[in-house]
Amino acid sequence: MQEVLAYLKKHEKKELCRFIACGSVDDGKSTLIGRLLYDTKAIFEDHLNSLQKDSKKLGTQGENLDFALLLDGLSSEREQGITIDVAYRFFSSEKRKFIIADTPGHEQYTRNMATGASTADIAIILIDARKGVLTQTKRHSYIVNLLGIKQFIIAINKMDLVDYDELKFNEICKAYKKILLHLNKDIKVHFIPISALNGENIAKKSSNLSWYKGKTLIQLLDDISLDSNEDKDFVLPVQYVNRPNLNFRAFCGQIAGGAVKLGDEIVVLPSGKKSKVKSIIGTDIQNLKALNQDEKAECIKQASIKQCISLCLEDEIDISRGDVIVKKNHHTKISNKVAVMLICMSEKGLDLDSTYIAKLSHSISNARIREIKYKQDINNFKKIKANTLKLNDIAFCEISFDKNLVLKKYDENKALGAFILIDKYSNQTLAAAMVQEILDEDSQRVYTKAEKELNAFIRKHYPQWGCKKI
């Protein structure tokens, strides 16, 4: 028992790293992740037995193990031999513990890939050595860059199918470096030749790739420094107001930036009301039971980013879900207009004449795209004009809300710097937006095309009504 506890304690203290495997169709993403799990002994015996049976029945590798089946669990994925949904898996090395997101390569499922990338620290971008850099390679690179990932591992896979040719590897590296000219300057890139199916350069060096003098994939994942972009400002988006009895009221949520301690002066946004921190209660189950039974819960002295807490204040002020609690000297802004990079995630598309629901953290408002500044052509990275957006389009837009929201730029705080646009009628997620600039508050209403046409009709046929031009 002591050995088990010691083992768990050892892994508990390891640094957590999240990474995503992405790239074009059939570049070998699922096979790579399956091989990683196999080589790090992260597969249970019953799973391995099941994989052996599935490989004979559904696999594409003859009598050998088809590692992709470890990730592709949906029947439609196994029938077509593709990844459709995001699959998450876990494993540990000597230095770190990992959460992996295996994402689809098909253009149709790019929205799923963006979802998997939103929480990642490292992006492994696979390239098939036979095909080189493709459009989806460019699209995925651009998206993971937008989502703030700064560490790229460019894994050039299936080197066994090009006879481990060093010249071919160098050609692909040169072609990919042209993409980097259109991405952020602070991205760090690591190139590695691999064969995921054969396990070459994954956990062990390959004699077939002796010309490559760099680290294996596992070594790279262990040694790459994880850039901390944590917000120094204390930010607590209020998710829930806890009122189990007449004597207790607390504001619950996950800290999205900075730290808080007892006695700190706070401000509630957007109302601007002020108070002081009276007590901080963690998520210990005994505390929750005590509150429900009208007993005193045990408080903690301070809390920091990513912790879930219940915050009690000295003053009885009105705070609701969607409000944001910050410290006195904060750098958070309030506005109803932003400039964003937007990824269209629905076949329904987006236009300038419709109103959408915007969900930012726990706040909901109506939103409208005021202007599409440009749309990014992924093939040549040129900026083109557009009035509508279709599935997988990436564009720079101005968006206005029908009320003031608490905002930060995406590279400062992801919780207050990103939101989704939702269709009012189907409740379908249409787009994801990352705030690039917070614009001055806009008091002028934006009218739809239909409203403008109705206004013109009234002015023409019923001038006695005194309708102003809009």
Topology agreement, domain 235-327 and domain 333-438: yes
Which structure tokens are listed for 144? 């993971």
- Homologous superfamily (CATH) for 235-327: Translation factors (2.40.30.10)
- In this predicted structure, the answer to whether residue 8 has a pLDDT above a threshold of 80 is no
Mean pLDDT score of the chain? 84
Q: Quickly tell me which residue has 């009320």 as its tokens.
A: 403
pLDDT in tens, 155-171: 999 999 999 999 999 99
DSSP H stretches of helix in 103-239: 110-117, 135-146, 166-180, 217-223
pLDDT in tens, 380-409: 889 999 999 999 899 999 999 999 999 999
Which residues is 360 bridged to in the sheet? 363
Which pLDDT score is estimated for 76? 45
Which residues is 18 bridged to in the sheet? 99
Secondary structure of residue 116 in the 3-state scheme: helix
Q: At a CB cut-off of 8 Å and minimum separation 6, what does 419 contact?
A: 358, 359, 360, 361, 432, 433, 435
Which pLDDT score is estimated for 359? 96
Q: Which of 80, 91, 94, 75 minimizes the C-alpha distance to 26?
A: 80
Which pTM value belongs to this model? 0.81
Greater pLDDT, 26 or 46: 26
Greater pLDDT, 116 or 443: 116
Which pLDDT score is estimated for 36? 85
Which pLDDT score is estimated for 232? 86
Which pLDDT score is estimated for 126? 94
CATH code that applies to domain 2-223: 3.40.50.300
Q: What own/partner pairs with CB < 8 Å and gap ≥ 24 does 222-225 have?
A: 222/93, 222/94, 222/95, 222/96, 223/95, 224/122, 224/151, 224/153, 224/188, 224/190, 225/151
Q: Quickly tell me which residue has 């963690």 as its tokens.
A: 282
pLDDT in tens, 311-363: 999 998 999 999 999 998 888 999 999 999 999 999 899 998 899 999 999 99
Contact between 235 and 369 (Cβ < 8 Å): no
Mean pLDDT, residues 176-183 taken together: 92
Q: What is the DSSP string of 216-236?
A: -HHHHHHHS-------SS-EE
DSSP 380: T
pLDDT in tens, 226-268: 876 677 899 999 999 988 777 788 999 999 999 999 999 999 9
Q: Which of 246, 231, 240 minimizes the C-alpha distance to 316?
A: 246
Which structure tokens are listed for 228? 């901390």
Which pLDDT score is estimated for 79? 46
- Homologous superfamily (CATH) for 333-438: Translation factors (2.40.30.10)
Which pLDDT score is estimated for 75? 43
Which pLDDT score is estimated for 89? 81
pLDDT in tens, 187-203: 999 999 999 888 899 98
Give me the phi and psi of 51, to 5 degrees please: -65, -40
Mean pLDDT, residues 88-105 taken together: 81
Which pLDDT score is estimated for 406? 95
- In this predicted structure, the answer to whether residue 295 has a pLDDT above a threshold of 80 is no
- In this predicted structure, the answer to whether residue 411 has a pLDDT above a threshold of 70 is yes
| CA–CA separation, 152 and 191 (whole Å) | 9
With cut-offs at 50, 70 and 90, classify the pLDDT of residue 94: confident
Range with the largest mean pLDDT of 14-23, 83-92, 318-327: 318-327
Mean pLDDT, residues 400-426 taken together: 94
Taking the domains of the chain in order of start, what are their residue ranges?
2-223, 235-327, 333-438
| CA–CA separation, 161 and 195 (whole Å) | 9
Mean pLDDT, residues 88-93 taken together: 82
With cut-offs at 50, 70 and 90, classify the pLDDT of residue 101: confident
With cut-offs at 50, 70 and 90, classify the pLDDT of residue 29: confident
Which pLDDT score is estimated for 465? 62
| CA–CA separation, 304 and 310 (whole Å) | 12
Which residues is 123 bridged to in the sheet? 20, 152
| CA–CA separation, 153 and 149 (whole Å) | 11
